[in-house]
Amino acid sequence: MNYKLWFWVVNIASTALRLLVIGKIGLTVNETHYCWVYTKFLDLSYFDYPPFIAYLIKATTLIFGNNEFAARFPTVVIFFIASWFFFICAKKLYNERTAFTGVLLLNVLPVFSFLGSVIAVPDSPLALFWLLSLLVFIVLIETNNKNYWYLLGIIAGLAMLSKYNAILIPFSIFLFLFLSPKHRFWFTRKEPYLALVVSVITFLPAMVWNIENNWTSFGFQLKHGLGGSFPKFSFTLFGRSIGAQAGYVSPLLFLIFIVAALACIKEAYQKKDRHALIIACFSLPILVLFNGIATFNEILPHWSAMGYSALSIYVAHLTLKFWHIKWFRIYSYAAWGLAIFMVIVIHMHVLYGIIPLEKVEHGIAEPERIDVTNEVYGWKEAGNEIRKIINTYPPKEKSFVFTYKGYLASELAASVPKLRVFCISDKINACGLWQKNLDTLRNKDGLFICNDFFFSNPKERYGEKVFASYTDVETFPVYEDGRKIKNFFFTIRRSFNTANLPYEYTADALGQKKELMQELIKFDHIVFKFINSDLKCKFLDFYAEPISYCDSKNFNISFFGILIISIAILWRNKKDSFWTNLALLASVMAIATIATFSLKCYFERPRPLIVFGDENVNTLFEKVHKNSFPSGHTSVAVALCAFMFMTIKKYWLWYIFFAIASGFYRIYTGSHFPYDVLAGATLGIVSAYITVTFFRKYSKI
């Protein structure tokens, strides 16, 4: 077979089918809340997730309009491209037959064939960059071309701008380098570390947003992922998580994935197979992490989806490897058949509601609570009813629309795109950041809306003083193909008194937006206090005191000690070019010193003793007060270490340790702030790199 040709046939055909379907299914809660509403409030980042998916959807809605097709179009295109990356990865690791089998597998797994290729969520661009990073890393390992590191840095940064799970991409890469003796030499090269810097720079928009908004997003995701209480092992939570993942992957195929994970580890460890090790490093860390969290906190099954995407390559390889075994072949037919059946049924049920699901409690039908696919229906009808009620008001006195749940507010906002929907809730969410000033609603009537799934009594929730009066709750039922699928509940709240709204219901609960520079300085001070005060102990004092005493006498004993050792190392290892290297080392340190002195005179930043006062800073013998930025000790020490790192690599670990210790010591003894040390270290590295690179390029020696 021409597997490459058949790959394109399958990829194009499946993409065409998805494009036919995406406009016929209403948006889910996650799509409206995490993606569509974001496009109405474009920002550097958001409360729940980073911004990448929002900008993609904004671009397509500008082209196709505000509709389901436009919102989901990026997801379909992304899956098309990601499948191509997957095919190339599998081909490079194994062969075209394995690659084609793997792509077929992606198209039959419910987690990818529907959720990952149709529904617009942040996981979609994450999957694209996850597989692209895997592909680039495979090429890097094959070619040892150092320039691919910079591309990896950009890709990892874009992945983190898609979803925070991408923080595991650098971990996966460094895990492979650590476990593969043949490739550990990269730890002695500058490129992996520069790639980390590039990824951080690419991720800066989300960092800046979090700094300005009290680290809201990072804090929310950590609490959401790890739970808000002390971890306590639970078999129930773990079993529920495994069951949900089995449903997302398909139960019979899930067992093959478990076997494949174990076989992949065995092959990577016992046979030292490089390909198995790459797949293991890009799949197992995220699977282990989230299943570990599942032992004490509720997780969503798609959180670990990236692990299954990379592991699918090995599942395809294992399937073909054991295809000649009759029982395995029969089991595989059953597993793949069940997965295909599930995918077809999911699509058909979402489109036509073919499965009669209904829950009755106390004689009342509650279909939305048992049939999760009902969440995509009824919003247009609710939007029409909202407009009808709002239009009964005179233009200048129109009621505002509000609810108590962020998810519900997002779905309603999508159903009435020309109206503003507010979320007045005591739960911190993204809506609070977009409605800082509720005083514009003072004395207006509010149309409160909820439904079966998100239900609340507004009188009990907001009390008697927030609104002057209220109308009786009216029920608005929604039907689909003759069957009742949900109820909406409407009530008018008269004369909104914002002054009586409890504090926890206002945006103030999120804290005031911060100025970037002020927050950076505040963070600098917090880290300084932690190192200078909280870490202070006799053990560290024992090593720091003699160095500080010598510094107080204008003799940097630690630096001169490492300088003498470095000269001895140069004499022993570079005897033929010793004097040249010694002159070059002197030039590097001189350049770092001159640059540091110039910057100190320009910035004139006060030392910690001036900022906090002598009594509030822990010092030893040396007490300095003038010109803190950047740290001169650190810049010269790091310049020395960077030069030796580039010249004689076998001592790289010790020089990295000395560079870090030099900067830490300056903070610990109260001489510098962390930013001073960071700037000094950067200056030292740049001085060494530029000097050595220039010399190597233009010198005839």
**Domains identified in the chain and CATH numbers:** 3-214+233-348 (no CATH), 369-505 (no CATH), 516-698 (1.20.144.10)
* Exposure string over 135-152, b if 16+ CB within 10 A, otherwise e: bbbbbbbeeeeeebbebb
Mean of the pLDDT values across residues 260-274? Answer: 90
**Of 641, 592, 676, residue with least CA distance to 190:** 641
Q: pLDDT at residue 326 above 80?
A: yes
pLDDT in tens, 166-203: 999 999 999 999 999 999 889 888 899 889 999 999 99
pLDDT confidence of residue 79 = 93
pLDDT in tens, 630-682: 888 888 888 888 888 888 877 777 888 888 888 888 888 888 888 888 888 88
* Amino acid identity at 597: F
Which helix (DSSP H) or strand (DSSP E) does residue 361 occupy? strand 360-361
**Of 461, 94, 66, 126, residue with least CA distance to 307:** 126
Mean of the pLDDT values across residues 559-574? Answer: 82
pLDDT confidence of residue 259 = 93
CA angle 423, 428, 433 (to 5 degrees): 65
Torsional sign, CA 66, 69, 72, 74: negative
Contact yes or no for 481/446 (Cβ under 8 A): no
Percentage, residues of the chain above pLDDT 70: 93
Quote the DSSP letter at residue 627: -
Task: Report residue 361's pLDDT band, with 50, 70 and 90 as the boundaries.
Answer: very low
Which helix (DSSP H) or strand (DSSP E) does residue 486 occupy? strand 483-496
pLDDT in tens, 443-494: 888 888 888 878 887 777 777 778 888 888 888 888 877 777 788 888 888 8
